[in-house]
Amino acid sequence: MADEPTYDLVVIGGGPAGYAGAIRAGQLGKKVACVEMERAGGTCLNWGCIPSKALLKSAELYRTMLHAEDFGFKVGGIEVDFAKVVERSRGVANQMAKGIEFLFRKNKVEYIRGKAQINVPGLVEITDGEDKGKILSTKNVLVATGCRARMLPGLKADGKRVMTAREILDRRDLPKSCIVLGAGAIGMEFAYFMNSFGCEVTIVEMLPNVLPVEDDEVSKFVERDFKKQGVTIHTDTKAENIAVTDDGVTLDAVKGDKITPLKAESLLVAIGVQANMDGLLSKKVKLEMDRKYIKVDRHYNTSVKGIYAAGDIIGPPWLAHVATYEAVQAVNGMFGHGEPRPMERFPGCTYCQPQVASIGMTERDVKEKGIKYKIGKFPFTASGKAVAAAESDGFVKLIVAEEDGEILGAHITGHEATELIAEYALGMELEATWEEIHGTIHAHPTLSEALMEAAAATHGEAIHI
């Protein structure tokens, strides 16, 4: 009789999907190991979501201090120690990574630093790191290796002239000028950050709008606001003839027949991501793929029995909170703790200023589907709390079904939008209608009143507009 596998589950990858899946398995009393080639927390915690938010907070605080006199304070000149700004963000990431390592110990998760390869189903080999050569025998494998920044052919990130989000997060000096390729969440966040500290920023986006997945009204509002902040934006524009020189980067911004030559000290490439599959599978393991991502069923099974996958590695949306949800559902399902719940909707957030948060369908979506709908909008200029805080830019937009009042989509841009979206997310999960949001008493004065007022506005019942 063959020996029993040592582990119930081996998780490959320690990011939001990997560490969450491993911890959940530990909570269920399973013997589990998590293999991460860098550090617990993965890209999100160490080189993405968390350190970038620390940088953005510094930028936001700096902008606020520049307007201190508006609040009744007289201050001298404000000097920026940019290296210290970056150092703080690295410290935040380090603190949070230690927190994940603590949670591993608390839930009896064996944490292995190294690179892993699935030799055959049930056998995982550590191919690099301190435990190189070690073989892990397991009943199940959860692949959660995530994604990395996609680079244009012929370009290589060197941290000075050409950067991805990873390089800019560890850069101790700020370029005097930077071209940002891509106006998705990552591109917009770093454009805001660099511009706040005096870098001359130019954004080049192939699609007609910045933040192209967002509602058109929101995208156009953010674009106008960025331009007021001094950011140059080229939408519906391709970047061609990119060249790296000794003193910078040049390219042609091509929009139709018009060509605009651009030059900057640095280039930030934020054009999307690609799956981390390098060295993951031996030649004996063939997983079915879908557009270069691992294909899974609703239980997160891959095409090979005993191998599961969750998070960015299975394709869009590439969001940390979605990855965590998927991994927990996968682990619950593989160990018989309920049927995995399908993901019907999820919030998306961008943390520049003005912030952007949304869930559900855009107005563009409901029109394409032929759904009869009503719109409710409430501007933060009509919110006493927003005006008092000098944060009155932005609005709340709610889309509801004309027939039964169901919330179809919610879109917020402005101060703390990424916090406010949670109410609509919960409302949609509980199948709340606009009337139930409107009928819920919201504290005054708060930013959240805008959510109630937008709901009321769908049927002309808003009080303050």
189 is in an annotated binding site: yes
370 is in an annotated binding site: no
Q: Which residues 6+ apart lie within 8 Å of 167 measured at CB?
A: 157, 158, 159
Residue 407: CA count within 13 A, CB half-sphere: 32
Cα angle, residue 203 at apex, residues 200 and 208 outer, rounded to 5°:
155
Beta bridge pairs of residue 254? 238, 259
Closest of 37, 22, 41, 12 to residue 302, by C-alpha: 12
Which two tokens mark 224? 């106008």
375 is in an annotated binding site: no
Distant-in-sequence contacts of 57-62, Cβ < 8 A, 24+ apart: 58/85, 58/88, 58/89, 59/192, 59/193, 59/196, 59/197, 59/353, 60/196, 60/353, 62/196, 62/197
- Does the annotation mark 67 as catalytic? no
Q: Which residues 6+ apart lie within 8 Å of 142 measured at CB?
A: 9, 10, 11, 12, 18, 21, 22, 300, 308, 309, 310, 327, 330, 331, 334
99 is in an annotated binding site: no
Which two tokens mark 153? 């052919």
205 is in an annotated binding site: yes
272 is in an annotated binding site: yes
DSSP class of 406? B
81 is in an annotated binding site: no
User: What is d(CA 341, CA 330) in angstroms, rounded to the nearest whole number?
Assistant: 9
- State the pairing for strand pair 273-275/147-149: antiparallel
Residue pair 335/341 in contact by the 8 Å Cβ criterion: no
186 is in an annotated binding site: yes
User: What backbone phi and psi angles, to 5 degrees, belong to 432?
Assistant: -70, 155
- Specify burial of residue 12 (Cβ count, 10 A radius: 0-12, 13-18, 19+): buried
402 is in an annotated binding site: no
Q: Considering the candidates 415, 444, 459, 464, report the single residue annotated as catalytic.
A: 444
Helices (H), 136-235: 165-169, 185-196, 216-228
Closest of 389, 382, 384 to residue 454, by C-alpha: 382
443 is in an annotated binding site: no
Which two tokens mark 77? 């000149």
187 is in an annotated binding site: yes
Q: How far is CA 462 from each of CA 147, 169, 173, 431, 446, rounded to the nearest angstrom?
A: 44, 43, 48, 21, 16
User: What is d(CA 407, CA 249) in angstroms, rounded to the nearest whole number?
Assistant: 46
| CA–centroid distance for 60 within its chain | 19
> Residue ranges for the binding site for NAD(+)?
182-189, 205, 272
Annotated binding site for FAD: 53, 312
Binding residues: 53, 182-189, 205, 272, 312
> Which residues are catalytically annotated?
444
